[in-house]
């Protein structure tokens, strides 16, 4: 498995998103998926306090019992757990990290990420609290998610000399959602900030399960009752675009999933392609997908298809 850098961390190019833990997977199946990931060479596990109503962290911690040294754990804070547990105030940062450490059953978090900007708290205050955690050894590196270029620049300008800075930005990015290419990706490159794409498979649309003119398969994320993503991703134009990309991959002996992973991996700013999995089979497919190295001609043709 190829490794890339996020600050001082060395992480697997393929990461495991843990948002299924505690929702679609119970503890037993979570442990099976985590073990399959470790066996496949994946060491980067990305979760959040809000995933599974806090159960994702708990399940991940139990699954890694006795194997903590083999894992790089990333988690997030800031989205509302309830009326009192939310945001990025220094007091809440201190509370949130202790809660996550307890749920994860560990003494340190490798990458601690602010899940979204908090406009009610000066970013300098949040960074100061996070720097304290780094100095205390409770956190190794810090990152942010859902930040604009303006917010990245504000955070960079607020860092005290010698203090911890955001070493990663985790925003949405995929073959079908490329808005970060206009500004966030170049900003990350210029500042040597790692980029972590979420929704790399467009919430499943880039797995090849959805075909034009066919009913969406049952049991997938986009067909779940009350899915907030259905209207966004399951549009005829996007399904047709995904089909054209699948045909491009098939002509080269690969799947659409292979293309989605390898295309992201071709960007040097991208340090790990984080995708969820509910089985060892999906883990194996994700790892295999990352081994296709697209050349310049391939990338040019993909760009033509993806933007047409």
Asked if 92 is an active-site residue, the reply is no
DSSP class of residue 268 equals T
Q: Distance between CA atoms of 197 and 270, rounded to whole angstroms? A: 7
Which residue is catalytic, options 51, 92, 112, 210? 51
Residue 308: CB atoms within 10 Å: 7
Question: Which SS3 state, helix, strand or coil, does residue 171 take?
Answer: strand
Element counts in the chain: helices (H) and strands (E): 11, 10
Length of the chain equals: 308
CA–centroid distance for 196 within its chain = 6
Show the tokens assigned to 273: 């392609």
Q: Distance between CA atoms of 152 and 144, rounded to whole angstroms? A: 9
Q: Distance between CA atoms of 19 and 299, rounded to whole angstroms? A: 30
List, by residue number, the catalytic residues.
51
């Amino acid at each position: 498995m190829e490794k890339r850098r996020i600050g001082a961390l060395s992480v697997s190019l393929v990461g495991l998103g843990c948002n299924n833990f505690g929702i679609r997977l119970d503890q037993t199946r979570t442990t099976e998926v985590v073990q399959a990931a470790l066996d496949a060479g994946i060491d980067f596990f990305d979760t959040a306090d809000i995933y599974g109503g806090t159960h994702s962290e708990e399940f991940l911690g139990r699954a890694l019992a006795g194997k903590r040294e083999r894992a790089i754990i990333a988690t997030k804070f800031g989205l509302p757990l309830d009326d009192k547990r939310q945001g990025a105030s220094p007091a809440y940062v201190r509370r949130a990290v202790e809660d996550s450490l307890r749920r994860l059953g560990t003494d340190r978090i490798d990458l601690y990420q602010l899940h979204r900007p908090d406009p009610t708290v000066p970013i300098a205050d949040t960074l100061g609290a996070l720097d304290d955690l780094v100095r205390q050894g409770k956190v190794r590196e810090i990152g942010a998610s859902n930040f604009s270029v303006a917010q990245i620049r504000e955070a960079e300008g607020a860092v005290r000399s010698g203090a911890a800075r955001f070493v990663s930005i985790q925003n949405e990015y995929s073959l079908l959602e490329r808005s970060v290419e206009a500004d966030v990706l170049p900003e990350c490159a210029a500042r040597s900030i790692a980029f972590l794409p979420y929704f790399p498979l467009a919430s499943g649309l880039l797995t090849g399960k959805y075909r034009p003119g066919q009913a969406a398969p049952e049991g997938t994320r986009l067909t779940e009752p009350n899915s907030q993503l259905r209207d966004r991703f399951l549009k005829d134009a996007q399904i047709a675009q995904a089909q054209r990309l699948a045909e491009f991959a098939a002509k080269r002996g690969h799947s659409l999933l292979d293309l989605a992973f390898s295309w992201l991996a071709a960007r040097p700013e991208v340090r790990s392609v984080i995708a969820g999995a509910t089985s060892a089979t999906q883990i194996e497919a994700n790892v295999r997908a990352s081994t296709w190295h697209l050349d310049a001609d391939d990338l040019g043709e993909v760009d033509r298809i993806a933007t047409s």
